Amino acid sequence: MLAFADPRSRHRRRTFLKVGASSLMGLPFLPVAARAALGSELTDVLRDRSIVFVFMHGGPSQTETFDPKMTAPPGVRSANGAIATSMPGVEFGSGLPKLAQRAHKLAIVRSFQTGDGRHDIKPIVSRFSDDANISTYYARIAGANRPDSGMPTTAALYPRAVEAEAMPAFKNFGDFESTGSLGAAYSPFAPSGGSELRENMKLSLPMDRLDDRRSLLENLDRARRLVEAGGTASGLDALRQQAFDTILGGVADAFSLEKEDPATVRRYDTAPLVRPEQISRRWNNYKRYIDNASSLGKLMLLARRLCERGCGFVTVTTNFVWDMHADQNNAGVEEGMRYMGVPFDHAIATFLDDIEERGLSEKILLVCCGEMGRTPRINGRGGRDHWGRLAPLLIAGGGMKMGQVIGQSSRDAGEPASAPIRIPDLVSTLLHSLLDIGELRLRRGVPAEILRTANAGTPIAELT
């Protein structure tokens, strides 16, 4: 087995490109016909769509974001006021002016309920998904890599993917790379920034062995013999060239913002919006606020680049910054929205504009939420505490119906006032958007976890 890997890593999923024939997913470079002959062809149940899931780690306030409740008394309504949106009669918190201008391109769910106020990553990894990142189910059907390019089908992007000096990935409350019972081979590829990213893209063989091409060709010849035995030998010359093109940088280029138009990088960049000197050092999360501001825009650009090149599910997470208690660690809601809301507003709005300009709005489904919302009443320090009965949820694109508010909340934004939409419903919506679940039911050998998870909830009807 020949593989791209980081030889220093203890995580097996660092090996993300394989040339060989020892397992179902061991032949990512083989043409479609060859993979069908090997019994691994399920790609016809894939819908032509990608998902970018932005996890607002810490629990964003529903009131300061998409449900400001300005008719409620002080201490309940949005601390930052409200702003009119492009949807008549709908207001957002005033800290999201760019998203307000694009509200007609969004679906805002005001009856989303995550169920509890615990810090975790339950909308994307939970008991509802058998403790696997939702993207794992997509990778299990699509394969760990695209057969035509070697692009990983799933990725998890932390601030270090674009900022080498950022803090390490925050996994205190859950692992975004978890695969449950499906196995580590289907875990999202999680690059780090700078030279470490380049290391992760290299072949785990000394360059002198790569230079003479012998080891690679031996593995490709082994693949040839297997394919010939199945009666499909076409395309192997292209296979050889593809393997080398990928090793020498084809896939790696997608992960490098250096390959992007500098004007586009500047357009996405959120670092100038919140400078370190503008953030109070009294908060223990000071460095996390800096990392969020410096990385979020570039993470969204990287997510677009990956989807554009065939990645089917990208998880983006911001190192735990939305926990707005106004305690020793975190700013309160008014100050905190300057630190988190401003970069979020800019990055998501820019992403939406960019994919529309590139004709990708129908192809990419954007989801933004956290693990919970915040209390209806502001605490005595100017913050809001944990609240699992209502949480903000933004959905955009993916060929779904936009320009609507789905569900209603109570007068204090504390409870759903209409039928709640829960995590299993969100998970089901995402999996049904990526996969033809009806067709998948008819296939043999599909892991039971996939169908069970996809059908545990009800897809959000208003979106279709």
pLDDT in tens, the chain (464 residues): 344 444 444 444 444 444 333 333 333 333 333 333 333 457 889 999 999 999 999 999 999 999 999 999 999 999 999 999 999 999 999 999 999 999 999 999 999 999 999 999 999 999 999 999 999 999 999 998 887 777 899 999 999 999 999 999 999 999 999 999 999 889 999 987 544 444 555 444 344 444 444 454 555 555 555 555 555 444 445 545 545 555 445 677 899 999 999 999 999 999 999 999 999 999 999 999 999 999 999 999 999 999 999 999 999 998 899 999 999 999 999 999 999 999 999 999 999 999 999 999 999 999 999 999 999 999 999 999 999 999 999 999 999 999 999 999 999 999 999 999 999 999 999 999 999 999 999 998 899 999 999 999 999 999 99
Identify the structural domains of the chain with CATH numbers, from first to last.
1-41+205-254 (no CATH), 43-191+255-463 (3.40.720.10)
User: What secondary structure, in 3-state letters, does the chain show?
Assistant: CEEECCCCCCCHHHCCEEECCCCCCCCCCCCHHHHHHCCCCCHHHECCCEEEEEECCCCCCHHHHCCCCCCCCCCCCCCCCEEECCCCCCEEECCCHHHHHCHHHEEEEEEEECCCCCCCCCCCCCHHHCCECHHHHHHHHHCCECCCCCCECEEEECHHHCCCCCCCCCCCCCCCCCEHHHCHHHCCECCCCHHHHHHHHCECCCHHHHHCCHHHHHHHHHHHHHHHHCCCCCCHHHHHHHHHHHHCCHHHHHCCHHHCCHHHHHHHCCHHHCCHHHCCCCCCCHHHHHHHHHHHHHHHHHHHHHHHCCCCEEEEECCCCCCCCCCCCCCCHHHHHHHHHHHHHHHHHHHHHHHHHCCCCCCEEEEEECCCEECCCCCCCCCCCEECCCEEEEEEECCCCCCEEECCECCCCCCECCCCEEHHHHHHHHHHHHECHHHHHCCCCCCHHHHHHHCCCCCCHHHC
Q: How far apart are CA 282 and CA 292, in angstroms?
A: 17
Sequence-separated (6 or more) residues with CB below 8 Å from residue 6:
14, 196, 199, 200, 202, 204
Taking the model in full, what pTM does it have? 0.85
Q: Residue 78's Cα: distance from chain center in Å? A: 28
In degrees to the nearest 10, what's the CA dihedral of 81, 84, 90, 92?
A: -40
Query: Tens digits of per-residue pLDDT, 254-270?
Result: 999 999 999 999 999 99
